[in-house]
Amino acid sequence: MTENAAPPSVFRNTAFLRLWTGTTASGLAMWALPFVLGLAVLERSITAVELGVVLATRTAGFLAAVPVAGVLADRHPRRAVVFWSCLVAGLTTPVIALGMGRSLLLMAVAATVVGAGQGACRPAFQAMVAEVVPEHGRQQANAATTLAIRVTTLVAPSLTALAALLVNARELLAATAVVWLIAALVPPGGQSRPAPAAGTRASFTTDFLDGIREARRHPWLLAGLGALTAVIATGYSATAVVLPLVSRDRYDTEAVLAAATTAYTVGALAGAMLMARWRPKAAGWVALTGLALYGLIPLVLLVPVHPVVVVAAYAVTGIGIELFNVPWFTAVQREVEPSKLARVSSLDFLLSYGLAPVGLALIAPAIDAFGVSAVLGACAVACFAVPAAAALVPSSRRFSAR
């Protein structure tokens, strides 16, 4: 592997700077909502059961909107899709506050619409990077975007907690709505694409299937997507379900949980900064190796080790996930036909992150049936083996069939 000189800073591109700001604002609003609702539970404005229902309906709206949004963002100007989806999320967020203590149904319906807005903007934002950034600067642009997302993940809980000292949960939801409006208004206009002639537009199902066919043209994409889905469904589920139990039962403190999750985010920040400049020749193999590092998490949860080892493993895993994310997004933007990019991006989000709740739902019953050791062992094997198998696909070496 060799390293090439990095291109000039992508932030000199005003269009990308506006897109980055809008993407960051949408990420901040998306991450803030669960924390604000958690504060509402502490204030006794809603119950824990109501919190679960609202978050579940938000996820359902997200997953339902992602495939629809992919088709819409390939049919219509992606800037318009971003505007309307973020505007809908912003206008509907205060309705959740209106339903607090009054109507769980109103809160659930509003959360579904907010989730749909969140899901609808994701593929469009991803596709717009390819519209406003030249190919040589896209890896840096993707690194800058994921860096902003990681910083948001790190600071959103703290900012929300500090704001809660001054205002209540309802007012915080109103502030979140304002952030959504920023995400709607700030991004630049993208490239205009010719509209299909009257009477020639295919049905929604045909367009979506066309996106699947485009994905199938790229063996490396299918292999990488399968690896990402397997790792998230196993390694991520182990983190979410088993880490709190290990922190409590093995180490008798919640500090390990807090330190490990923080180390993961800090590691991801370091990984994103590394990939902003590093241009490995075998980018696909580097990415899949980084993804396989997720197998360290179930291993350190399985074996009694010093807490420092657990924290270090999470930091290394955080670096690894960005070794995957940045080349992955860059390759998708480079290799996929531009007119189908949003549909392929929606398929990416739908399969990888969309199936994460399935893993979360199944891991606890699996632990009850087979024991925590067997489940963690299986998760570790999956995290190591599936990316390794994906690397055997010839075009996976560079994430390109060219």
pLDDT, tens digit (0-9, with 9 covering 90-100), for 83-133:
999 999 999 999 999 999 899 999 999 999 999 999 999 999 999 999 999
Pairwise CA distance, residues 298 & 233, whole Å: 12
The residue behind tokens 């642009």 is 141
Pairwise CA distance, residues 47 & 59, whole Å: 19
**Integer CA distances (angstroms), 390 to 21, 235, 271, 291, 375, in order:** 34, 17, 21, 11, 22
Percent of the chain with pLDDT over 90: 64
Which stretches of the chain score pLDDT less than 70? 1-7, 190-201
Q: What pLDDT, on a 0 to 100 scale, did the predictor assign at position 167?
A: 84
- Measure the CA dihedral 182/183/186/190, to 10°: -160
Q: Where in the chain is the domain with CATH 1.20.1250.20?
A: 11-138+156-200, 208-396
What fold characterizes domain 11-138+156-200?
Growth Hormone; Chain: A; (1.20.1250)
Q: Classify residue 164 as left (phi > 0), alpha (psi -120 to 50) or beta.
A: alpha
Residue 138, Cβ density class (10 Å: 0-12 exposed, 13-18 middle, ≥19 buried): buried
Beta strands in 87-168 (DSSP E): none
What single-letter amino acid sits at 157? P
| Alpha helices (H) in 250-306, listed in sequence order | 255-275, 283-292, 296-302
Residue 377, Cβ density class (10 Å: 0-12 exposed, 13-18 middle, ≥19 buried): middle
Q: What pLDDT, on a 0 to 100 scale, did the predictor assign at position 360?
A: 79
Tell me if 40 sits within 8 A of 169, measured CB to CB.
yes
**Integer CA distances (angstroms), 250 to 263, 265, 367, in order:** 19, 23, 17
208-396 CATH: 1.20.1250.20
What is the number of H-type helices and E-type strands within the chain? Answer: 16, 0
Q: What pLDDT, on a 0 to 100 scale, did the predictor assign at position 205?
A: 86
Pairwise CA distance, residues 149 & 159, whole Å: 15
The residue behind tokens 């994906």 is 390
